[in-house]
Amino acid sequence: MKKLIICNNVYQTLVALWIVYTSEHADGWDAIVSDHMNNSEDVAQCVRECGLFENVYHVKSLALTKNQVSHDAVTRVVNAILPMWELREYADIQPVYSDIYFANFDNFSQILYNALSHKESEIRLHVFEEGLASYSSFERFYSELKHYYGDGKSRIKNLLHKYIYRTKVIPGNLSEFLAFNPQLIQWNPECEIHKMEKIDCQDLAFRNIVNGVFHFDPSAQEYDRKYIFFEESFFADGSEVNDVELIGKLSKRVGKENMMVKIHPRNPMNRFEQLEYKTNQNTAIPWEVIVMNSDDLSDKVLITVASSCILNPIIVFGKKVQAYSLFDCIDHIPPILQSGYWDLVEKVYQKYPEMIHRCKSIDEII
């Protein structure tokens, strides 16, 4: 029977490609590419053309995930009774699936699972990681979903969902959690946890697939500066920190001509290009694709507040880096770094003291 995998951002897309490419039965896969990422329609088309999938659906689910979609009482009841009707608001998915693979415990994943489980009651759910957040702060999203469909509802609503609507919910129904580093998982997903093999940078066939999906030209020298600062999603999430100020100090220390800023793919505008810093032009290319195509990163200095971009070369690809964290230099702690996420990042940083340095000041960067 067919399998379906959801891609909400460029890193998830890369991991999804690896899961399908390395699966024992690489046929019978479909994919969903959502509008959570920039240029998502182009990414969806490239995923269609990569040869790994039979069907690829482009889904506009970002507003739903941000709780910006609401329905009146009658529509909510109709959607509960006829979940495929609700799913068709986002995608007309006809096949019956035996398995769903996803990375986010969001509203669309729940709607998809509930709808498709009414066509195949034994459908299996597989969660795959999308970086360190999956190992720590995703517990909050899982718990919120569990509460909403459990203790958060009245007894009458619980009975309606169980016996009348026959609602299938994600919490308690996961088959497995797939992770590159399962030993780092800080919470209980209530399912089996399985290790994924690290992405093989030397597998040229896979690398060619990835390069094609993300329009990456290995001969391009976009990342030709010694110092690379990784912007994070604080700006996109509405919780800005003083990263512009920190980059200004960094440019004075190392020279603007020696550094560049990698723009976060979800940020809606390029703040740093306006300030005349060199930046990457195609934000749809994940940093991990750059790493895959780089034999050696020893001539680079990677700088961030708390991005996993400085960790993934180590824990996903097994490469060595020289990196700095500016966590102690920001003016406040944004929400995304709370709920246990920074605690885990710090713990992993401490495992690689010879490669990752936690700065108290920009002056410590060499």
d(CA 359, CA 37) in angstroms, rounded, equals: 31
In SS3 terms, the chain reads as: CEEEEEECCHHHHHHHHHHHHHCCCCCCEEEEEECCCCCHHHHHHHHHHCCCCCEEEEECCHHHHCCCCCCCHHHHHHHHHCHHHHHCCCCCCCCCEEEEEECCCCHHHHHHHHHHHCCCCCCEEEEECCCHHHHCCHHHHHHHHHHHCCCCCCHHHHHHHHHHCCCCCCCCCEEEEEECCHHHCCCCCCCEEEECCCCCCCCHHHHHHHHHHCCCCCCCCCCCCCEEEECCCCCCCCCCCCHHHHHHHHHHHHCHHHEEEECCCCCCCCCCCCCCCEECCCCCCCHHHHHHCCCCCCCCEEEECCCHHHCHHHHCCCCCCCEEECHHHCCCCCHHHCCCHHHHHHHHHHHCCCCEEECCCHHHCC
Q: Which of 180, 195, 210 is the last residue of a domain?
A: 195
Q: Is 199 exposed, middle or buried (0-12, 13-18, 19+ CB in 10 A)?
A: buried
Q: Is residue 203 part of a domain?
A: no
Do 165 and 36 have their domain in common?
A: yes
Q: Is 158 a domain residue?
A: yes
Residues 91 and 17 in one domain: yes
- Shared domain check, 176 and 273: no
Domain finish residue from 137, 160, 195: 195
Residue 280 token pair: 């990457």
Domain count, the chain: 2
Query: Are both 246 and 187 inside the same structural domain?
Result: no
**Phi-psi label, residue 18: left if phi above 0, alpha if psi -120 to 50, beta otherwise:** alpha
Give yes or no: residues 46 and 131 share one domain. Answer: yes
Q: What is the pLDDT along the chain (366 residues), one digit of tens a residue?
A: 899 999 999 999 999 999 999 997 767 999 999 999 888 999 999 999 999 999 999 999 999 988 888 888 888 888 888 899 999 999 999 999 999 999 999 999 999 999 999 998 899 999 999 888 888 877 888 888 877 776 556 666 666 666 566 788 899 999 999 999 999 898 999 999 999 999 998 999 999 999 999 999 988 888 999 999 999 888 877 778 899 999 999 999 999 999 999 998 778 788 999 899 999 988 888 899 999 998 889 899 999 998 889 999 998 888 899 999 999 999 988 887 876 788 888 888 888 999 999 999 999 998
> 10 Å Cβ neighbour count for 126?
20
Residue 207: inside a domain: no
Residues 103, 34: one domain? yes
* Residues 134 and 99 occupy one common structural domain: yes
Return the sign of the alpha-carbon dihedral for residues 23, 25, 59, 293. Answer: positive
- Cα 149 from chain centroid (whole Å): 24
Strands 259-262 and 227-230: parallel
Domain boundary among 153, 179, 195: 195
Q: Are residues 190 and 223 in the same domain?
A: no
- Kindly state whether residues 171 and 69 are assigned to the same domain: yes
Largest CA distance in the chain: 66
Position 315 in a domain: yes
Structural domain includes residue 16? yes
What is the predicted pLDDT for the residue at 163?
55
At residue 55, the pLDDT reads 96
Q: Are residues 237 and 189 in the same domain?
A: no
Is residue 23 a part of any domain in this protein?
Answer: yes
Q: What is the CATH number of the domain that holds 61?
A: 3.40.50
Q: Supply the range of the domain harboring residue 264.
A: 219-364
Q: Is residue 213 part of a domain?
A: no
Residues 79 and 159 in one domain: yes
200 occurs within a structural domain:
no
Q: Both 49 and 187 in a single domain?
A: yes
